[in-house]
């Protein structure tokens, strides 16, 4: 499978099944993130940039063939960017999305995701994708 990953960034609200969503991966390698300050914080702050990076890595992960999975810790107490179970649970309990996303580490995939990417794309180092 070859995809030409494309990530779009919009400040417009994006919806999935009627609910606002921070990001969405579409068919044929396209994904976008919806960057709305009221939802993900104040532009220009380091936490905002970190959230944008995390959302981007998560959606590009989908584009490259990765799926959501349960909690997998990759560094310190942070989770693989494809961890999603906690977000669903937290949203039910009205935990702010920013808080949930900040639990993810955009710089490291878990072993399962890394192996899948390496197998699919024959690339040596997907483990750490951001320097
Ligand atoms: Zn996702
Ligand atoms: Zn993973």
Query: Residue 42: its pLDDT value, please?
Result: 80
C-alpha 100 to ligand 1 mean position (Å): 13
C-alpha 76 to ligand 1 mean position (Å): 22
Give domain status of residue 129, yes or no.
no
Report the C-alpha gap between 60 and 6 in whole angstroms: 8
Among candidates 57, 60, 95, 64, which has minimal Cα distance to 79? 57
Check residue 124 and report its DSSP letter.
S
Among candidates 52, 70, 67, which has minimal Cα distance to 7? 52
Print the domain residue range for 44: 6-121
Task: Summarize pLDDT for 64-121 with one digit per residue, the tens.
Answer: 899 999 999 998 899 999 998 777 777 778 888 788 888 999 999 999 999 999 888 8
Q: Which range is least confidently modeled, 1-15, 50-64, 111-125?
A: 1-15
Give domain status of residue 128, yes or no.
no
Report which bound ligand comes closest to the CA of 60. 1
Report the C-alpha gap between 37 and 48 in whole angstroms: 8
| Domain count for the chain | 1
Report which bound ligand comes closest to the CA of 25. 1
Coil/strand/helix, residue 11: coil
Task: Summarize pLDDT for 22-48 with one digit per residue, the tens.
Answer: 888 887 788 989 888 777 778 888 888
C-alpha 40 to ligand 1 mean position (Å): 16
Give domain status of residue 90, yes or no.
yes
Give domain status of residue 29, yes or no.
yes
Give domain status of residue 55, yes or no.
yes
Give domain status of residue 131, yes or no.
no
Coil/strand/helix, residue 117: helix
pTM for the model: 0.84
Give domain status of residue 86, yes or no.
yes
CATH of residue 97's domain is 3.40.390.10
């Amino acid at each position: 499978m070859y995809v030409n990953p494309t990530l779009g960034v919009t400040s417009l609200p994006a919806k999935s099944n009627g609910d606002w969503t921070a990001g969405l991966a579409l068919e044929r390698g396209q994904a976008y993130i919806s960057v709305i300050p009221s939802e993900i914080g104040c532009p220009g702050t380091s936490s905002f940039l970190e959230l944008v990076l995390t959302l981007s890595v998560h959606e590009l992960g989908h584009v490259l063939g990765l799926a959501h999975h349960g909690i997998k810790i990759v560094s310190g107490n942070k989770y693989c960017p494809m961890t999603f179970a906690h977000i669903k649970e937290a949203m039910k309990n009205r935990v702010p999305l920013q808080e949930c996303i900040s639990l993810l580490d955009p710089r490291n995939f878990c072993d399962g995701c890394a192996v899948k990417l390496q197998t699919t794309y024959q690339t040596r180092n997907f483990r750490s994708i951001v320097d």
